[in-house]
Amino acid sequence: MRMVGTLTRADLADTINRKMGLSRTDSLQLVEAILRHLCESLSNGQNVKISGFGSFILRDKNERIGRNPKTGVEVPITSRRVVTFRASQLMKQRIQEGGA
């Protein structure tokens, strides 16, 4: 697994392959299944909490008026649902310490 840059699905599958002994194909299928389940839960309006990692929380934002910073023209921003992430205390501590 790379130590800088972006963590990818392939990186996750490779770690599962090395640590759990699953085949590369099974490891990638496991990663895909977890991500698919996470996305389906959020799509169905459920928040997702992963203990020791964090929570993916759905928020509904109301319609509001925004402003184009270049021109100053007011533009309506439609209401929408967004996903936010809140890291758990354990994750915050690990980040502060600089390692997992």
Is 35 in a helix, a strand, or coil? helix
Q: How sure is the predictor about 1, in pLDDT bands with cuts at 50, 70 and 90?
A: very low
Residue 98: what pLDDT? 80
Query: Would you say domain 1-45 falls under CATH 1.20.1250.20?
Result: no
Burial of 62 (0-12, 13-18, 19+ CB in 10 A): exposed
What pLDDT digit, counting tens, does each position of 39-98 carry? Answer: 999 999 999 999 999 999 999 999 999 999 999 999 999 999 999 999 999 999 999 988
Span 47-100: which CATH code? 4.10.520.10
| Ranges of CATH 4.10.520.10 domains, the chain | 1-45, 47-100
